[in-house]
Amino acid sequence: TKSLRDTLKEAIPIKQEQLKKLKAEHGNTVVGDVKVDNIIGGMRGLKAMLWEASVLDPIEGIRFHGLSIPDCQKVLPAAPGGKEILPESMLWLLLTGQVPTAEQTRELSRELAEKGQLPKFVEDLVDSFPKTLHPMTQLGMGVAALNHDSSFQAAYEKGMKKPEYWTHTLEDCINLIAQLPALAARIYRNVYNPGTPLPGINKDLDLVGNYSNMLGYGANESLTEYLRLYIALHGDHEGGNASAHTAHLVNSTLSDPYLSYSAALFALAGPLHGLANQEVLRWQIAMQKELGTDITHEKIKEYLWKTLKSGQVVPGYGHGVLRNPDPRFIALQEFCDSRPELKSSPIIELVNKTFQVAPDVLKEHGKTKNPYPNVDATSGCVLYHYGLTEFKYYTVIFGVSRALGALTQLVWARALGLPLERPKSMSMDALEAFIKKP
């Protein structure tokens, strides 16, 4: 069977040719206007970035190389005895544009397991952090420190040529994806279960099988399957989201993949982005506490208005691009529907009831352009049901996942020779002067 590297070696010249042709034939084709609203509105809607692995449609949601989430659920290999997408099969798809066989996926799982061990100095560094340091801060710092062994940085110092950039970028990206579970699990152990031993990496297990094991949940097959689905689905959400965009920007300076992804993690750690899953759980539990046992739609409605009137956002609702319920939210809800223990779980029932009420309340409130749930509206609540209740940790799991897509694009950016990202900014005075020009 063809290896990941050989598959990529065949895919790259085709894409390079496509880019060359696009540039030569359509370099001056206008794709859209830039309005003052775009400049002061967080560049929302501006088509200004190349991103190969996925495209987000406002209504239909995400497609990975053209495949929707249900398509991926049909064709991407699962773990033996399992049903959910293996994140390494998603990684293969994102990197190469091709669906891997079960055998190719197994080979990639093995490679990741073989490369998963952390260097001793990173273990010591992470062990020295105070337990009170937010797990996301720990993850970002650990990832940055892993750049000690960056293949890209070492080769750059030796004067590597541009055509070699992508191969060293790929090695760093694979090593980092391999090491993330051990790093993330160590942080979990140190903060929530200090003193307990961490199991070693099992070469016959998949990435999430090992991650779940190291978190202490290996025996819970249902949670492990949920984590596989969660990590596969959060892997990529086109390029404009704050974390993926940050990785892309930082890497465009030829900063190595570890530093680039460390920066991305600190963007993911914001409450408007990845931290929202932690915020959703906090908010739903506060709602549960206040409303007691008999939670009616009417009471939820009142609670939603209380949140909005206090000037807070409803966490897990709204989106920068989506204008429909997030298909990742739907896929996670379907996972819950397929398991009786989740279907009758009080926290999942509350998520469902909130979904039945919140869109109308948000429409009446009239501010958000998207009154529907995003993936964070449910993702953390499922973890909570399974007993993984430490909600400050939830964004770390998102961080293990987003590496799949954000790092894939670094490989493509270097293979395609994309330049330093450097948009033009304008001051308000400069904008007014431009507007006044005859």
Q: Which residues bind ligand MLT (CB under 6 A)?
A: 237, 241, 320-321, 374
Quick one: which of 190, 193, 181 has its CA closest to 228? Answer: 181
Catalytic residue (choose from 237, 326, 376, 385): 376
Residue in the block written with tokens 């669906």: 99
Q: Does 314 bind ligand NMX (CB under 6 A)?
A: yes
376 in active site = yes
As measured in angstroms, the least distance from the Cβ of 133 to ligand NMX is: 22
Give which of ligand NMX, ligand MLT, none residue 315 binds (C-beta under 5 to 8 Å, depending on kind).
ligand NMX
Amino acid at the residue 79: A
Interaction between residue 325 and ligand NMX (CB under 6 A): no
Give the tokens for residue 80: 């033996």
Q: Angle at the Cα of 342 (from 234 to 59), degrees rounded to 5?
A: 40
d(CA 341, CA 188) in angstroms, rounded, equals 25
Contact 276, 329 (CB under 8 A): no
> What Å distances lie between residue 384 and 199, 216, 234, 415, CA to CA?
23, 15, 18, 41
Q: What are phi and psi of 108, to 5 degrees?
A: -65, -40
Closest CA to 184 of 378, 388, 348, 382: 388
Binding ligand NMX by CB under 6 A: which of 125, 313, 418, 426? Answer: 313
Nearer to ligand NMX, 315 or 327 (CB): 315
In angstroms, the CA 228 to CA 86 distance is: 6
294 by DSSP, 3-state: which?
A: coil
| Interface with ligand NMX, residue 39, by CB under 6 A | no
User: Considering CB distances under 5 to 8 angstroms, the limit depending on partner class, which of ligand MLT, ligand NMX, none binds residue 168?
Assistant: none
- Residue 35 interacts with which of ligand MLT, ligand NMX, none, CB < 5 to 8 Å by class: none
Is position 315 an interface residue for ligand NMX (rule: CB under 6 A)?
yes
Q: What is the rounded CA–CA span in Å between residue 177 and residue 95?
A: 13
Q: How far is the CB of 21 from ligand NMX (least distance, A)?
A: 34
Q: Is 78 helix (H, G, I), strand (E, B) or coil?
A: strand
Note whether 420 and 260 are within 8 A (CB): no
- Residue from 236, 273, 326, 385 carrying the catalytic annotation: 273
Q: Which stretch binds ligand NMX (CB under 6 A): 76-84, 172-180, 225-233, 318-326?
A: 318-326
Cα 359 from Cα 398, distance rounded (Å): 25
> Does the protein bind ligand NMX through residue 320 (CB under 6 A)?
yes
The site string for ligand NMX over 377-416 (x = CB under 6 A, - otherwise) reads ----------------------------------------
Q: Shortest Cβ distance from residue 317 to ligand MLT (Å)?
A: 12
User: Pattern 239-278, binding to ligand NMX, x per CB under 6 A?
Assistant: ---------------------------------xxx-x--
Report yes or no: 244 and 409 within 8 Å, Cβ to Cβ.
Answer: yes
Q: Which residue's Cβ lies closest to ligand MLT?
A: 241
Residue 235 interface partner, choices ligand MLT, ligand NMX, none, CB cut-off 5-8 Å depending on type: none
Q: Which is nearer to ligand NMX, 100 or 274 (CB)?
A: 274
Angle at 86 between CA 405 and CA 10, to 5 degrees: 55
Q: Which positions touch ligand NMX (CB under 6 A)?
A: 44, 272-274, 276, 308, 313-320, 367-370, 374-376
Catalytic residue numbers, as ranges: 273, 319, 376
